[in-house]
Amino acid sequence: MIEAVIFWTFALMAIGGAIGVVLHKSILYSALFLIVTFLSIAGFFVLNNADFLAVAQTIVYVVGLTIVMLFGIMFTGQQAFAPRKRSKTERFAPFVAAGMLLLLLLVVGVASFGQMGPFALGELLPQTAAVLKAQGSTQMLGTLLFSRYVLPFELASVLLLVAMLGAILIAKRELDDDIVETHLRPGYVQTKAAYAEAGTALLTDDATTAMPIDLNATTEPKELIAGGVR
Amino acid sequence: MTAMIEMMPAANWLTSIGLGHYLTVSFTLFAIGLLGVIGSRHIIRVLMSVELMLNAVNIALVAFNNAVQPNELSGQVFSIFVLTISAAEAAVGLALVIALYRAKATVDMNAFTTLRG
């Protein structure tokens, strides 16, 4: 009974959060809805004897991935898209496609798994239940990962390394030429000198009289920043 | 226990939670994720929807593991691999988003038409 209450609460939260992710107008709120969904899914894991996975889900998705998404949102900024006229079919096609997929999945799922008791979960052997109850699923998972699944495990770590290098390489801007170009440009050196002068002037003279930076010099750093960001 | 649940009247689906419930939630989340992938204009929202779909698969894996083979945790190991790969995918995906933003100064999916014939 208590399990049913927990399940339905998490189910409502997960599906509501997912709908919020897809349909909310603001992308920032979508990311926050994503946290709700991920946490509810961690709850499902706990209900299914997967306590290690629940913790991993919380750490990787709720903390790591959502923060990365939020960084992406902050980096690209919130901007209004150019209005675009869409026909009625264009607007409703995604809903129709998703609905048909859902229908197909449900029909196939019920048809395939109906005979093995769709509303029954498997039974634990007494010794497994004792192990799970005493120390959770972590030790069993670790034994499996380092015995039967050791090759996929190593491959996954290589994949993570490659993905990290690739992400750095893709996201990094081409700095090598730019640094030489902008930092060794004569204007940059002059501007730096002008700022250094201004700084000493501000320190030594009255603040009111010391405004030695001419317009020419002040526009230069802005240009630098704009050129750097591109 | 299993026989007892099967003997219960069908109206008890509300209180006796089983594999079918988890699968229904998983399928629903997967469909909502697909809706987000093909229906939204913001590229980061598309990435989030892909994560939703991967998470739906994770629910199904863990529920099946618990239903079919509860004494062995192979399904959970697969779920860990899905988690790993989705983390890698998110990192590369966001790097691509940032590179695209730098090239086009927008995150609108409709603006990325460079490869359209």
- Kindly state the tokens that stand for B53: 């779909």
Phi, psi angles (nearest 5°) of residue B42: -80, 130
Per-residue pLDDT, averaged over A154-160, amounts to 94
Helix axes A215-229, A175-183, angle to 10 degrees: 170
Residue contact A79–B106, C-beta within 8 A:
yes
| Shortest alpha-carbon distance between residue A182 and chain B (Å) | 19
Residues of A in contact with B49 (CB under 8 A): 21-22
Q: Grade residue A210 by pLDDT with cuts at 50, 70 and 90.
A: very low
Q: Do residues A139 and B21 touch, judged by C-beta distance below 8 A?
A: no
SS3 A44: helix
Query: pLDDT tens, B67-110?
Result: 888 888 889 999 999 999 999 999 999 999 998 888 888 888 88
| Shortest alpha-carbon distance between residue A146 and chain B (Å) | 11
Nearest to A24 by CA among A67, A71, A73, A63: A73
Helix axes B43-68, B19-39, angle to 10 degrees: 160
pTM above 0.90, yes or no: no
- Kindly state the tokens that stand for B34: 């697909």
Phi, psi angles (nearest 5°) of residue A38: -65, -40
Per-residue pLDDT, averaged over A169-191, amounts to 62
User: What count of other Cβ atoms lies within 10 Å of the Cβ of residue B106?
Assistant: 17
Q: Which of B7, B23, B35, B78 to mutate to test the interface with A (most CBs of A within 10 A)?
A: B35
- SS3 of A188-204: the string is HHHHHHHHHHHHHHHHH
Any idea what DSSP says for residue A63?
I
Phi, psi angles (nearest 5°) of residue B69: -140, 65
Residue contact A144–B15, C-beta within 8 A:
no
The residue among A78 and A69 whose pLDDT is bigger is A69
Query: pLDDT tens, A91-114?
Result: 888 899 999 999 988 888 777 765
| Shortest alpha-carbon distance between residue A204 and chain B (Å) | 43
**Mean pLDDT, chain B, whole residue set:** 86
Chain B interface includes A105 (CB < 8 A): yes
Residue contact B35–A95, C-beta within 8 A:
yes
